[in-house]
Structures are given as structure tokens and as C-alpha cells.
Structure 1
Amino acid sequence: MYTDENASRAPDNIEVIKAIGQAMDYWSNELYRRRNFDESKCPAVELPPLPDSLEKWQRERKKLLALFAEHIYGEIPPAPDKITTRLLAERSDALNNTAIRREIRIYCQMNNGMSHDFDMLLYIPKNVQAPPPVFLGLNFDGNQANTIDEDVALTRGPSHYPGYWWRSAATTNDKRLIKLDSWNFAEAMQRGYAVATVNYCEIFPDNPYGYEKSIYRLFRSPEELAAFPARSCGLRKFGAISAWAWGLSRMLDVLEDIPEVDADRAAVLGHSRLGKTALWAGANDERFKMVISNNSGCLGAALSRRDFGERVGHLAYIQRFWFTETLTQYADRESELPVDQHQLLALVAPRCLYVASSSEDGGADPRGEFLSAKAAAKVWQLYNHAPVLPDDMPAAGTGTVGSNGVFYHLKSGVHSITAEDWQHYYNCADGLFRG
């Protein structure tokens, strides 16, 4: 992953970072205090229109991608000059003898000598007669946290520096077996799906100082990257979400060369910030045949103009490094954004889109996620797919609603991805890949 020996050491200016963290905590709490959870206080929303003909849509699609890159997510870098892999470990009796497990180190290399690598955990079901479809995505707590196999290698992400207020990458044994529902490997094997995952911090460490230890080292000078955490760099045109999306495409590159997996039937999935990432990856990389957003919320599936739950201003400042610097211009000014999130969802068309919400996840605005999917469905109609979503948001626990390329469900519960969510995704994938 990180080729220099200092890649995981704490920064020299740790006291400054602690002070920044305390300031960010204050503003984070203040911005959260201002959130609206009263539906009656949502403003009337006029969404940016979608084209009314396929010809217009095909003409506008690239322009929309460029607008999302310029104003929200930043540019996704090009593929590296070379990708190589090394098999770190393999077991043919994984998950209680239901799967073949491979741990694969992916090396992304440039002709200028720069290199970055990260570790992919891959499970392939043993009970299949042909290469199976594959679900792929990034994980929060380390590959070892999501499986009952206790010999999976620990994630190599950088340690949680003292005073940091953001998530630690999981690098210790106490992070084993804590997220088994999040990736649901055992059920995937029973259903006949391969699953691949990488810890997201191995691609871009989830903190404002992550640039220098991220995949952007392949494309930017150390001096340029070192300047960005100062938070005064109005010219930064890339961020963590685009890096994570880049990593998803590199995972698919590698899966395409594994004959035991059918990478032509690939579903990309993410939860929360990684749901935003999955949507952005799916919009840009049309090899993903199914794109799944699980509780992605603000600047994911939810409409920004609704002013409900988490808002652009919070993310633009507190999680500034996830996005392009341009996004800060739209704090509390969502109506001035040239795009809204239904257009991001529409960029998946005519492939399969699945949006999922949780009933107690007000910050992610479940209603805004549903309305966004319903608005985006217009573009599938241009391809003669005609999705059918109900006029009213379904009650929690109803199950999957939708058809012909656009699907949605609302589960009872908090901000999470669970086995219940996965059941809906498997069922939808069965219809898409095996129907």
C-alpha cells in the first residue's frame, strides 16, 4: 500500500491537528444542531430538469458528469499505467468450507516510478457451476472485521493518531468479527455470489491529512499534496470520494482477470459515505451493471434542495477533504448548485439502480432518497424501461419497491447496512443477472 517507511507515522504538527480537531468538533456540533427534521419546514423544491428525449440525454450526460466533478466530487484520476497483483493467501475451505478465499495485493504503478497498493479480500462460492456474478465495495473497519475467518490479514491502514476526531483504520485484532452483517459473506456464498472488498483507508486515509498517503501520490507532487490540509486551498479539484471511486474501478480491473468470477455481472455497493462513493463510481464506470446506495444521504442519493437532515454546509466544511473545494461555495445555498442528486442517480441509467434507506436515519433524509430515485426514473423511461415506483414513500418493512431498473426499500432501524438489506440486494440481483 504505502511504499515509504514513514507513510503511517503521525504528522509532526500533532498539537495543531488537535486544535483543528477541537474547532471542527465545535462547528460540527453547531451545524448538527441546526439540522431540520420537520417535514413541514422543507422548502418547495424545484429540481434541475432532466432531458425529455434519449438524444438530448446522451448529449447531456457527459456535461452532467463534468458538473458533478467540478462542483461536488472532484475529478477521478485516470487508470494507472500498470496494474499487477500478488496472491498473499488462498484457502479452499473458507467460511466453513463454502468458499474459496483469496487475499490479493493490487499494485497500481506509474511510468514515473510511483506506486500505491492495497489489499483485496475475495470470496468465491464453491457451489456454483459457472463463474458467478460479483458484489464489490469498500469497507470501513478492515477486511478482517467482516468475516468469520480469523486468519484474514489485518488491514494495513494508518493508525488512529492521538487527537484525531475521525475514524481510525482498523489495524488490531480487537477489530475482528465486529461487522459480519455489513458484508454478509456466508449468505452470499449460499446465494451463489462472489464478494470482493478493500478497506477504504488503504486507498485514501479518511482524514484531512490523507492526501499524501493516498492514490493521489501517483498523480500529484508531494509539495502539492502537503498543502491541501491547510483548508485555504481554493484550487483543489479532487477529494477522497473520487479516490475511493477510483479504487472501486481498479478492483473491477483485477476481477476482470480472474476467470473464476464473472466481472461482466458486477454490482458495486456502499454504505453511508461509501454509498456516495458507489454512486459516483457507478456514474463514471459503466462496467458496473448494478449500483447500490445504502443510506448514502446528503450528496449521495438524497435531494440536496430539500433542506432536511444533514446538509451540504456540514459536509463542505467538516468533511471538506471528501469533495472538491468548490463545494464550500454552496454551504446553505443548495438551490444554487447547478445539479441535484436525482441527476447523479440518473447517470446510472439504463443499468440497475438500487437505493436503500433506514427509517430512523433522519440525517440521511430517507424521503429525500426516495424522491430522488423517483425523479431519476424518468431517464430509464427514455430507454423504454419504464420503472414503476409508488406515488407515496413505502412504509418501513414493506420490502423492495420498483421495477425495470430502479428499486428502493426502507428498512426499520438506524443508519446501518444489515443482513436484511443484503437479502433485498440478492433478490434484485437474481432478477437482473439470472432472470
Structure 2
Amino acid sequence: MVVSPQSQDPVSPEVWRREVRPGVLQSFEREVYGRAPQEPVGLDWTLLEEGEVDGRQRRQLSVTLTGPAGRCTFVVLVHLPRSSAPAAKPPVPGKGAPAESVPDRVPVFLGLNFDGNHASTTDPEVIRPGVDPAPGDVGEVNGDDRDDAEAPPERGSAGAAWPVHLATERGYAVITAHYLQTGADHPNTFAQGVMATFGTSTMGGRDDGEWGSISMWAWPHCGPAPRTNVSPGSSPTTRAAWARP
């Protein structure tokens, strides 16, 4: 049974979606997550590296968001499925057979990871910002002041939470980025990463209704990432969030 939170009277699902749901969402925005900024954000990306691993294509992108108060750059790791019926291509001299093509559009799982892109896979080519040489700007890894944090974690140490092969084998792409590059779960996050691009600088210097960490982490999923096709072969309109247990 679906009821109205104001009257507690039963309402039809259609009425709930049309009249009640918007108020519920506003309550969560006001009381739980805070209001995400509405200012326009510029988005630029460059391809850092691409290759093939375990039967899927890998791409690593440097993504830069430019807001009213600054810029934030982070590395996005993309896993793309092979096409089910790729066109035949000749071998590349000295490199063997090329990676098979991907479909023009594929559905995408988006998700932030806790330990770094390299921790989600044992692939040795995945870049560790601040550790590995990189062919471009890879941004910074912001600290969250955890005394027991391993810096950086071992490759593949969080692989159980990212069974990427199960998605790519079924025709899905998987896109992830390190949450410490977008903003840590720490009061300092207001001066780092995505939040700093909007000028929110301190925990005490913001209104009660402004966004916090959870809203900031969700923002790329419904803001710049879906509206921008940051990887050829992925669809900006068909997506789902990948939540780590």
C-alpha cells in the first residue's frame, strides 16, 4: 500500500509518483544529502593509455572538471567489452593481433572505488597517480587522515569488490575512479577535489543545506559523467551505479 506522508491516506502509485515523490526527494535533499550546486561545470578529458587485458579493452582517461572556483583532475579507468562480432583486422607488425572492436554503444556501470583504480584489478598497466609515471596530468590523491591507510594498497587488493569480468562478459562497460581523487570522507574534503571547484572551503563555512560527501560522490553519476561520452563505445544514457558492499 502506498500512502501520502502528509495525510497518511492511501494513494495510487501514479499519484504517488506524480505528487508525493517530488516532496520525498526534496526532504532527502534538505535533511540528509544537501543541495548539490547548480552552476555549470566544464569537462575536459584526454586519453592517457589504452590496451587489452583478460579479453576486454582498457582505457585510462584524465578527466578535468572546471568550476567557478577551481579545477579538479582525476583518472578514470574504463573496461569495455569486446564486440560479439568484430570486424576482422590484420595483425599489427611487432604487436600481434589488435584488440577486437567494441560496439558503438554499450550500457555502463559507474562507481567510485575506495582504494585506487589499481586496487580493483591486478592489471599492471593501471596507473597509480603520484606513484607511476604517467603520460599526462593525473591529478592528486587527497588524504583522509586514516592512520592505518596503506599507501598505496596492493594491486588487486579490492578485486573481489570489482568482478569486472562478469560485467564485460555480458556486454557491459565498467567505469571507475578513486574517491580520494574526487573528495575524501573527511572535513578537509571541502577544500579538496570536486568540492573545491565550487568554493566551499570549510566545514563551518557552509550553510546547513549545502551538500556533503555522500551527495558529492553521487554528483558525478548524475552530472558530468552521464551527459558526456568520456569513452568511445560507452553510452552516456544507459547507466547504473556500481555500489561496493
TM-score (norm 1): 0.44
Report how far residue 77 of structure 1 moved.
Answer: 2.2
Residues 40-61 of structure 1: per-residue CA shift (max 9 Å, x gap): xxxxxx9945742413531233
Report how far residue 196 of structure 1 moved.
Answer: 0.5
**1:78–1:117 CA distance, 2 compared to 1 (3 A):** farther
**1:259–1:88 CA distance, 2 compared to 1 (3 A):** closer
Structure 1 SS opposite 2:126: coil
Residue of 142, 151, 157 corresponding to 1:178: 157
CA distance in structure 1 between the aligned counterparts of 2:11 and 2:114, rounded to whole angstroms: 37
Q: Note the residue ranges of structure 2 that are not aligned, 5 or more in a row.
A: 86-102, 130-139
Question: As a proportion of its length, which structure holds more helix?
Answer: 1
Residue of 214, 217, 225 corresponding to 1:251: 225
Is 1:190 paired with 2:150? Answer: no
Structure 2 SS opposite 1:67: helix
Is 1:269 paired with 2:239? Answer: no
Report how far residue 159 of structure 1 moved.
Answer: 3.8
- Structure 1 residue runs of 4 or more that deviate by more than 6 Å after TM superposition: none
CA distance in structure 1 between the aligned counterparts of 2:11 and 2:191, rounded to whole angstroms: 40
Is 1:157 paired with 2:141? Answer: yes
Partner of 2:15: 55
What amino acid does structure 1 have at the position aligned with 2:202?
A: A
Is 1:137 paired with 2:111? Answer: yes
Report how far residue 143 of structure 1 moved.
Answer: 0.3
Residue of 75, 84, 102 corresponding to 1:119: 75
Partner of 2:195: 216
Residue of 78, 95, 116 corresponding to 2:38: 78
Partner of 2:179: 200
Structure 1 SS opposite 2:243: strand
1:399-418 mapped onto 2 (5 Å cutoff): 417=245
CA distance in structure 2 between the aligned counterparts of 1:114 and 1:160, rounded to whole angstroms: 20
Residues 353-386 of structure 1: per-residue CA shift (max 9 Å, x gap): xxxxxxxxxxxxxxxxxxxxxxxxxxxxxxxxxx
Report how far residue 109 of structure 1 moved.
Answer: 1.1
Equivalent residues of 2:41, 2:66 under 8 A apart: yes
CA distance in structure 1 between the aligned counterparts of 2:235 and 2:112, rounded to whole angstroms: 19
More deviation in 243-252 or 194-203? 243-252
- Percent of matched pairs sharing the same residue: 25
Equivalent residues of 1:148, 1:177 under 8 A apart: yes
Partner of 2:120: 146
Report how far residue 195 of structure 1 moved.
Answer: 0.5
TM-score (norm 2): 0.74
CA distance in structure 1 between the aligned counterparts of 2:84 and 2:214, rounded to whole angstroms: 34
Structure 1 SS opposite 2:36: coil
Is 1:100 paired with 2:57? Answer: yes
Is 1:237 paired with 2:237? Answer: no
Structure 2 SS opposite 1:210: helix
Structure 2 SS opposite 1:103: strand
Report how far residue 148 of structure 1 moved.
Answer: 2.0
**1:52–1:109 CA distance, 2 compared to 1 (3 A):** same
CA distance in structure 2 between the aligned counterparts of 1:214 and 1:79, rounded to whole angstroms: 16
CA distance in structure 2 between the aligned counterparts of 1:139 and 1:193, rounded to whole angstroms: 18
Q: Note the residue ranges of structure 1 that are not aligned, 5 or more in a row.
A: 1-45, 272-416, 418-435
What amino acid does structure 1 have at the position aligned with 2:84?
A: V
Partner of 1:87: 47
Report how far residue 267 of structure 1 moved.
Answer: 1.4
**1:243–1:227 CA distance, 2 compared to 1 (3 A):** closer
Partner of 2:84: 128
Residues 306-327 of structure 1: per-residue CA shift (max 9 Å, x gap): xxxxxxxxxxxxxxxxxxxxxx
CA distance in structure 2 between the aligned counterparts of 1:53 and 1:180, rounded to whole angstroms: 40
Q: Which has the higher contact order (CA 8 A, sep 6+)?
A: 2
Equivalent residues of 2:49, 2:59 under 8 A apart: yes
Report how far residue 123 of structure 1 moved.
Answer: 0.6
CA distance in structure 2 between the aligned counterparts of 1:187 and 1:88, rounded to whole angstroms: 25
Equivalent residues of 1:76, 1:245 under 8 A apart: no
CA distance in structure 2 between the aligned counterparts of 1:201 and 1:247, rounded to whole angstroms: 14
Equivalent residues of 2:57, 2:82 under 8 A apart: yes
**1:84–1:265 CA distance, 2 compared to 1 (3 A):** same
